[in-house]
Amino acid sequence: MNHDVLEKSLLRPATRSALDELTQVPERQAKPRRTPLRADKRVRIAIVHDWLVTYAGAEKVLEQIIACFPEADLFSLVDFLDDRDFLRGKSVTTSFIQKLPLARSKYRSYLPLMPLAIEQLDVSAYDVVISSSHAVAKGILTGPDQVHISYVHSPIRYAWDLQHQYLQQSKLTHGPKSILARLILHYIRNWDIRTSNSVDGFISNSAFIARRIKKVYQRDAQVIFPPVDVEAFSLCTEKEDFYLTASRMVPYKKIDLIVEAFTQMPERKLIVIGDGPEMEKIRAKAGANVDILGYQPFKVLKDHMSRAKAFVFAAEEDFGISVVEAQACGTPVIAYGKGGALETVRDLSEPKPTGMFFDEQDTESIIGAVSRFDDLADRFVPANCRSNAEQFSAAHFRERFFEHVRAAVPALRAATLPPYVPYVTHAQAAANVPRTLAVDQSGVLGGAELSLLEIVKALRSRIEVVLFDDGPFRTALAKTGVEVNVLDAGALKSVRKQGGSLPKGQALKGLISLVRATAKRARHVDVIYANTQRAMVIGALAGKLARRPVVWHLRDIVSPEHFGGKQLAIIKWCARLGLTHVIANSAASAQAFSQLTQFDGKRIDVVFNGISAEPFDALRTVPQATLRERLKLPHDAFLVGSFSRLARWKGQHVLLEAMVLNPHMHAVLVGAALFGEDQYEIELRAFVAAHKLGGRVHFLGFQHDIPACMCAVDAVVHTSITPEPFGRVIVEGMLAQRPVVAARAGGVLEIIDDHENGVLCAPGDAHALADTLAELRSNGELREKLVRNGYQTALSRFGTRTYVDGVARILKSVVEK
């Protein structure tokens, strides 16, 4: 074959791909290449990664791909991971390189064998193959009835446009070793092009890499930005007078250029965080105004990133995670104007800029950019930086990646993205949490149960659950893999916290039975964790029998407004008899309990409920009109949503009275009468009929998908007429990025700063509520302010990580004492 023929065979445009065949109707005479999967057949998925030796950017993508397809099997050339938590307990099938001499430390030296090795991994039993590739993973062998989708971090850099840089750094520019290296790289390039034809669909981590894919493989790629742990950073609006750069100190990062530039600007301070082979070289160039801290733990990096005036970035990266992390702190970026930074930073030519670029990788360009930044610093708003960073969240990545794969595989069209459950290993749980028996009285998914569900998801390897009633809550718990036992509460089901007689007869027998059954299970654990008031009573008695400490997670304000006199007396008695510690969901709850029981204040801790942002973030790209259509709500009306069970003290009637006063709005009531409160729902519906509000009040009843309902409305109201212990719906409204109006009482005051992240109204005042909602409807600037600040409040103060860590710490402390 002559040179021209060889070149044409290697570089010809890709023929019609298998992905096209899946998404286009074939001509009548064409026979389908793939046998369609039966609807009842499980789709088998394999995930292929280059090598598993560390947890870096490519592995963070792999972690989220596994979260999208948790049942998939995993393949890799080698697996030498020590910290393997991100694999979520998966085993890995490896290649023959795993067993070669010195493979752990010298695996890169086996580059010439990697094409052969990846082809020996057998994935023929799978319907879908997903490769995560920056080297050879995309070369996995697949058949005509398999769909192969490849997420490409980059075509093999050192074989393509960075070959000469690679040879120089490896000192392979001359001599026999250089000739051999060039021959190997030539062979790999040919192999790389050939194997690209077996990929049905390419995904790139940036438009920059998409252009590389087009240049090398002559194929188009869908851009899906890699995930960044945006939630690990919080918005900081107060900036100090210093600049920051942070990176591993290797040549292409150009930290030396940044240090040289600032050394020539002695009036400006630079802080450098990072370590690496160029550390001494960089230290030698640093002036008195440059402070090189070396390697620092994440906490220190985050602190400096939050306070910095700007983050300086001089590398040409495919994406550049640190650039997004800086913006997540509200810190603008001064970056080299090539590579991924052009896609993650909005410069001054765009609305709401988050940074600016310099054109050359030299000191003069950096100096000029920093000087311009100083002159224009007031153009960069921290909240805009944070907002820009949020589009790169892990939740957003999972949503887009899953949708892309589902669209490419007909058999997955009916599949839904599985809920994200943080993975906790048995070793981690054993180190941090004692064996725990969680007790709850309800089978219904109320606020207390949703909060317990977050605890169970994180600590499921060290926790088992006892319920006194069956229902959707048991189903949700079972999906986490935790052990759940449902005990028959018998006549005790009729006992309400608002009052009634003490249990007698059959109810007393039920009480004794529950105590014995709970105590039996408690003997196998270290601590009883009671999640509700009735569960606390059973837990306190069972703790005495089993000789186990009892922790009550108090989620109520124990006052005559919420509890009957006899129930309050029981709470006081249990506090003296059998409670070791109390976790209150707000200071208001803690104060009421302390006043009632005179309980030792040192044994009461406040831990705010934690609420995950991911179900809300997953809906960020879904049009509101789509959600309203799904819920059969009017498209053009200003909708005000109430999210709570229908109960008089929850105050839905106040919202309806405000609707009478304000004819320009609609009310959406999400919730049902759960605990014998059916009469109240009848009264609400009668009020609607009497005032001819039927066209403007929408009863949606109980809904499983609260995030979708919240994102469908324009404002969220909280109308409790008696003090609320916490106000979960308020935080959920903030996460849905909707302005929140709430009653000024109880735990609500610990969440909302009036007219900053929400608006407060007097409890039960329909006129004030109507006026506030009218102001929100007409004042877009106020709505935007409340949404922006509310979202940051929800992320920074009420995240699930802080919540779970707080509860785990207290459980451990109680057992140790």
List the one residue out of 418, 353, 346, 395 whose CA is nearest residue 230: 395
CB 417 within 8 A of CB 398: yes
Contact 95, 117 (CB under 8 A): yes
CB 95 within 8 A of CB 112: no
- pLDDT the model gives residue 152: 95
pLDDT tens digit sequence for 144-194:
999 999 999 989 877 777 677 767 766 778 888 888 888 988 888 999 999
Place of tokens 């009478």: 660
Which CATH architecture fits 230-392?
3-Layer(aba) Sandwich (3.40)
Helix (H) or strand (E) holding 67: helix 57-68
Is it the case that residue 784 has pLDDT exceeding 80? yes
Residue 13 is predicted with a pLDDT of 37
Same topology, domains 230-392 and 426-606? Answer is yes
Cα separation, 274 vs 301, in Å, equals 9
Q: What is the CATH number of domain 426-606?
A: 3.40.50.2000
Q: Report in angstroms the alpha-carbon separations of 94 from 48, 50, 56, 91, 127.
A: 10, 10, 19, 10, 20
248 pLDDT band, cuts 50/70/90, is: confident
Smallest Cα–Cα separation from 444: which of 656, 617, 675? 675
Assigned CATH class of 3-223: alpha beta
Distance (Å, rounded) from C-alpha 132 to C-alpha 59? 9
CATH number of 615-798: 3.40.50.2000
- Taking CA atoms, 330 is separated from 56, 308, 335, 419, 752, in Å, by 23, 9, 16, 29, 22
Question: What per-residue confidence (pLDDT) applies to 644?
Answer: 92
β-strands 638-643, 604-606 pairing? unpaired
Statement: residue 53 has pLDDT above 70:
yes
Average pLDDT over residues 107-116: 92
Would you give the DSSP letter of residue 393?
B
The phi-psi region of residue 598 (left if phi > 0; otherwise alpha if psi is between -120 and 50; otherwise beta) is: left
DSSP 330-377: T--EEEESSTTHHHH---TTSSS--EEEESSSSHHHHHHHHHHHHHTG
Token pair listed for 546: 């089993």
Q: Say whether pLDDT at 31 is over 70.
A: no
Residue 791 has pLDDT above 50, yes or no: yes
Instruction: For residues 527 and 811, give the distance between their C-alpha atoms in angstroms, rounded to a whole number.
Output: 7
Return the pLDDT at 503. Answer: 53
Q: Decide: 198 and 184 in contact? Cβ < 8 Å.
A: no
Write the pLDDT tens digit of every residue in 670-702.
Answer: 999 877 788 999 999 999 999 999 999 999 998
pLDDT band at 565 (very low <50, low <70, confident <90, very high): confident
pLDDT above 90: percentage of residues in the chain: 62
pLDDT in tens, 405-427: 999 999 898 888 988 876 654 44
Residue 35 has pLDDT above 60, yes or no: no
Q: How far apart are CA 638 and CA 657, in angstroms?
A: 17
| Three-state SS at 719 | coil
Q: Is residue 100's pLDDT more than 60?
A: yes
> Any idea how long the chain is?
817
Do 10 and 95 contact (CB within 8 A), yes or no? Answer: no
Is the CB of residue 721 less than 8 Å from the CB of residue 649? yes
Mean pLDDT to the nearest integer, 50-72: 90
Domain borders along the chain are 3-223, 230-392, 426-606, 615-798
CA separation for the pair 256, 694 (Å, rounded): 69
| Average pLDDT of the residues in 181-208 | 92
pLDDT in tens, 626-644: 999 999 999 999 999 999 9
Amino acid at 262: F
How does residue 6 score in pLDDT terms, banded at 50, 70 and 90? very low
Q: Across residues 85-100, what is the average pLDDT?
A: 88
